[in-house]
């Protein structure tokens, strides 16, 4: 009969091999990506001439956004236009032919809005319906220049779409307006082409822009045109029109809404190649030094950090070892479950944490009061609380989403909070433009 040490040795060797394979997979994946990027770059340059002949002829000197892009980004833009056209069915209402110019300009308006994002095809909208000019709606009893139908159709008046690009500074652009709606709906529909970055940052932007939206709702003076106060979706679409067509004035009149719209769309029309130039983020040591001289505003007392990989490794190793020991020592199952009962609370005790809110920072500390994480509140996107059923009971988790070096990250923690504590945190963070969402909504 094999000894317990033999089993333990096998477990150790297999665990080591697993970590070794995982490490090599990361290195190989990075190398493969660089190889694919190389071939992708040369492939794009080889087809560049074909795309220029087919699409660029309708954009140069007619589509100011495209004119401002550097040559590499022009290629990226044309490739996205090509993909968008290939993904859609173009239909018409009226006696005219759908031309390549129509397809190109409609696709270009979608790519302009979504150029900074990863998802740009608006897959929930499969059909583009084109009218020759404004059309009468039997539903609203008004003439429309464009609209979004949740049955998967984006509708345009071709004449009005052309007019929008002929005057790129009047803040009226039906192409940008409807594609802003499509982007908005796409990230809220159940089967939509969800962009993780945009979908999560939108709530923060809406919270920052709420005061201006209420100004419009109450007929107070605003830089934005009155139609933006119709509802929140129209507010976002009108902001997008002003963002691209009255950029400098938008930044001057509504600097915070403009800044966070840049972050939301991951582009800034005032910069070369529309790059976002954000202030440098503070180092961990700098934030920690400022925290030490700050006043504590909120203390959750205790939460629990989730480390899924480590937790899984602990329990797999634990069950293997328990099975070996039970077999070797001929122990009954009562002893096994007793050990299981003891190790679970021990794990949570080891990884217990608490969240502390200061004026500019949120700090996560462990039971020994050692700082595990520091989040600058200005870099935080949102806090989400979730409650899920687990084997007849419930487990709760808290997700903190934050921006670091232009990318969106998430850290997740177990929490043992009452709704009153969550509401207290929500009231504290709302004035700091950090939405708190979840079980108390």
Measured torsion, CA atoms of residues 428, 431, 434, 438, in degrees rounded to the nearest 10? 60
Residue 49 domain-assigned (yes or no) = no
> pLDDT at position 311, please?
55
Residue 325 domain-assigned (yes or no) = no
**Mean pLDDT, residues 402-415:** 84
The more confidently predicted of residues 145 and 13 is 145
User: Are 409 and 398 in contact, with CB atoms under 8 Å apart?
Assistant: no
User: Are 344 and 401 in contact, with CB atoms under 8 Å apart?
Assistant: no
Whether 91 and 186 map to the same domain: the answer is yes
- Per cent of the chain over pLDDT 70 is 73
- Per cent of the chain over pLDDT 90 is 51
The band of 391, judged by pLDDT with boundaries at 50, 70 and 90, is very low
Helix (H, G, I), strand (E, B) or coil at 306: coil
Instruction: Classify residue 380 as exposed, middle or buried by CB count within 10 Å of its CB (0-12, 13-18, 19+).
Output: buried
Residue 77 domain-assigned (yes or no) = no
pLDDT digits (tens, 9 = 90+) for 334-347: 555 566 555 655 55
pLDDT digits (tens, 9 = 90+) for 56-68: 999 998 899 999 9
- Partner residues linked to 386 by β-bridges: 397
Residue 115 domain-assigned (yes or no) = yes
Q: Which residues does 347 contact at the CB level (< 8 Å), separation at least 6?
A: 311, 314
CATH number at residue 99: 3.40.390.10
The CA distances from residue 377 to 156, 222, 299, 360, in Å, are: 41, 28, 15, 5
Whether 184 and 246 map to the same domain: the answer is yes
Residue 213 domain-assigned (yes or no) = yes
Its domain, for residue 433, covers 284-307+351-437
Residue 61 domain-assigned (yes or no) = no
Whether 21 and 124 map to the same domain: the answer is no
User: Are 344 and 350 in contact, with CB atoms under 8 Å apart?
Assistant: no
The tally of domains found in the chain comes to 3
Whether 96 and 230 map to the same domain: the answer is yes
User: Are 66 and 51 in contact, with CB atoms under 8 Å apart?
Assistant: no
Q: Which residues does 170 contact at the CB level (< 8 Å), separation at least 6?
A: 245
> pLDDT at position 62, please?
87
Question: Could you tell me whether strands 352-357 and 303-305 are parallel, antiparallel, or unpaired per DSSP bridges?
Answer: antiparallel
Query: Model-level pTM?
Result: 0.77
Whether 139 and 260 map to the same domain: the answer is yes
Whether 218 and 288 map to the same domain: the answer is no
Whether 141 and 250 map to the same domain: the answer is yes
Candidates 265, 268, 257, 247; CA nearest to 206 is 257
Long-range contacts of 2-11 (CB under 8 A, 24+ apart): 3/328, 4/324, 4/325, 4/328, 7/320, 7/321, 7/324, 7/328, 8/321, 8/324, 11/317, 11/320, 11/321
Whether 262 and 147 map to the same domain: the answer is yes
Residue 1 domain-assigned (yes or no) = no
- Partner residues linked to 387 by β-bridges: 396
**Mean pLDDT, residues 247-260:** 96
Backbone phi and psi for residue 185, each to the nearest 5 degrees, phi listed first: -65, -40
> pLDDT at position 392, please?
41
**Mean pLDDT, residues 83-99:** 95
Q: Which residues does 92 contact at the CB level (< 8 Å), separation at least 6?
A: 98, 129, 130, 131
Residue 88 domain-assigned (yes or no) = yes
pLDDT digits (tens, 9 = 90+) for 144-195: 999 999 899 999 999 999 999 998 899 999 999 999 999 999 988 766 677 8
> pLDDT at position 110, please?
97
């Amino acid at each position: 009969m094999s000894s317990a040490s033999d089993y333990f040795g096998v477990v150790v060797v297999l665990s080591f091999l697993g970590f070794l394979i995982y490490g090599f997979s990361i290195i190989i994946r990075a190398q493969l990506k660089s190889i694919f990027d190389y071939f992708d770059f040369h492939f794009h340059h080889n087809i560049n001439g074909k795309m220029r002949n087919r699409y660029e002829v309708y954009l140069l000197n007619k589509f100011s956004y495209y004119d401002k892009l550097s040559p590499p980004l022009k290629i990226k833009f044309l490739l996205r236009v090509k993909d968008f056209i290939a993904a859609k069915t173009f239909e018409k209402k009226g006696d005219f032919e759908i031309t390549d110019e129509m397809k190109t300009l409609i696709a270009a308006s979608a790519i302009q809005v979504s150029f900074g994002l990863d998802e740009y095809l608006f897959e929930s909208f499969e059909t583009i319906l084109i009218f020759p000019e404004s059309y009468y709606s039997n539903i609203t009893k008004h003439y429309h220049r464009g609209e979004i139908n949740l049955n998967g159709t984006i509708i345009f008046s071709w004449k009005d779409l052309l007019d929008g690009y002929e005057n790129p500074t009047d803040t009226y652009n039906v192409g940008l307006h409807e594609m802003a709606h499509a982007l908005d709906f796409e990230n809220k529909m159940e089967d939509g082409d969800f962009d993780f970055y945009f979908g999560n940052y939108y709530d923060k932007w809406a919270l920052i822009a709420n005061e201006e939206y209420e100004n419009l709702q109450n007929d107070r003076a605003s830089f934005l045109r009155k139609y933006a106060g119709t509802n929140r979706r129209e507010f976002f679409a009108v902001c997008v029109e002003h963002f691209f067509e009255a950029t400098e004035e938008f930044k001057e009149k509504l600097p915070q809404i403009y800044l966070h719209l840049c972050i939301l769309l991951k582009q800034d029309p005032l910069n070369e190649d529309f790059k976002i130039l954000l202030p440098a983020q503070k180092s961990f040591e700098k934030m920690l030094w400022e925290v030490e001289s700050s006043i504590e505003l909120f203390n959750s007392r205790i939460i629990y950090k989730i480390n899924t990989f480590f937790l899984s490794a602990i329990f797999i190793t634990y069950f293997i070892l328990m099975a070996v020991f039970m077999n070797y020592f001929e122990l009954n199952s009562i002893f096994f479950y007793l050990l299981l009962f003891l190790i679970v609370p021990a794990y949570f005790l080891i990884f217990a944490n608490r969240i502390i809110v200061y004026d500019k920072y949120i700090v996560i500390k462990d039971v020994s009061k050692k700082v595990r994480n520091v989040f600058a509140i200005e870099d935080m996107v949102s806090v989400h609380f979730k409650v899920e059923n687990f084997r007849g009971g419930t487990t709760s988790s808290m997700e903190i989403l934050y921006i670091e070096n232009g990318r969106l990250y998430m850290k997740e923690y177990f929490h043992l909070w009452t709704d009153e504590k969550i509401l207290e945190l929500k009231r504290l963070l709302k004035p700091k433009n950090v939405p708190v969402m979840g079980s108390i909504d």
